[in-house]
């Protein structure tokens, strides 16, 4: 997979401890998004990983179930809650992590803040002692035949258990958006300096 990129640039601010439990929430703009967490977990996080994936995508790419993904049916609220409860259960052991794409589906790259579904804030309200960490993926095609992949792993987001779900969602959306803005600023600065 990495041969498809000219460079992979990672900025990491969160480093899980051996007993950490972590939910990594990620923008969803590229097909590669489903494979990148495997690499991050193998090379950086080294946690017991699971991933939440839309059931349509899971049927289209069934190999993801063999590497720790489980499905969520976004069109059926009852089924969605069952998947989220399963996610909570999967996080009970130490050194576990969950990768989630809270936009719910592949979205075009945009300068605006991502819009997350409420499942992420629901998980936040149900999981005490779990770090919620924003991750941004950005692929830049402007420099060469092969694109550059930028991965930014932010610090854990500190919300408050008394916050309402829409406020939590907004906080999480803003944290991923800020990572994407930082990546683009660095890209613009490096382009202007050459």
Query: What average pLDDT does this structure show over 12-41?
Result: 92
Structure tokens at 91: 């996080």
Considering the entire predicted model, what is its pTM?
0.93
pLDDT of residue 87: 95
**Domain 2-192's class?**
alpha beta
The answer on pLDDT for 168 being more than 80 is: yes
Q: What is the strand order of the sheet 148-153 is part of?
A: 7-12, 148-153, 131-140, 22-26, 96-100, 48-54, 69-72
**Cα(6)–Cα(140) distance, integer angstroms:** 10
Q: Tell me the DSSP string of 75-127.
A: T-HHHHHHHHHHHHHHT-STTEEEEE-TT-S-----SSPP---THHHHHHHH-
Which residues, 6 or more positions from 72, have their beta carbon under 8 angstroms from its beta carbon? 52, 53, 54, 55, 79, 80, 83, 84, 119
> pLDDT tens, 34-92?
789 989 999 999 999 999 988 888 888 888 887 788 889 888 889 999 999 999 999 99
**Cα(143)–Cα(194) distance, integer angstroms:** 12
Q: Parse the chain into domains and list their residue ranges.
A: 2-192
């Amino acid at each position: 997979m990495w041969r498809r990129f000219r460079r992979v640039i990672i900025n990491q601010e969160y480093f899980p401890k051996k007993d950490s439990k972590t939910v990594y929430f990620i923008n969803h703009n590229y097909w590669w998004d489903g494979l990148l967490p495997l690499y991050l977990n193998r090379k950086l996080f080294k946690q017991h990983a699971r991933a939440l994936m839309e059931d349509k995508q899971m049927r289209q790419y069934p190999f993801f179930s063999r590497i720790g993904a489980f499905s969520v049916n976004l069109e059926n609220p009852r089924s969605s809650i069952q998947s989220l409860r399963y996610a909570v259960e999967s996080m009970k052991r130490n050194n576990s992590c969950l990768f989630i794409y809270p936009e719910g589906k592949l979205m075009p790259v945009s300068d605006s803040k991502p819009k997350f579904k409420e499942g992420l804030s629901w998980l936040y309200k149900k999981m005490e002692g779990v770090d919620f960490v924003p991750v941004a993926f950005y692929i830049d095609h402007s420099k060469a035949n092969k694109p550059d992949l930028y991965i930014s792993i932010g610090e854990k987001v500190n919300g408050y258990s008394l916050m309402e779900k829409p406020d939590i969602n907004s906080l999480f959306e803003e944290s991923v958006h800020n990572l994407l803005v930082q990546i683009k600023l660095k890209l613009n600065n490096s382009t202007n300096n050459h």
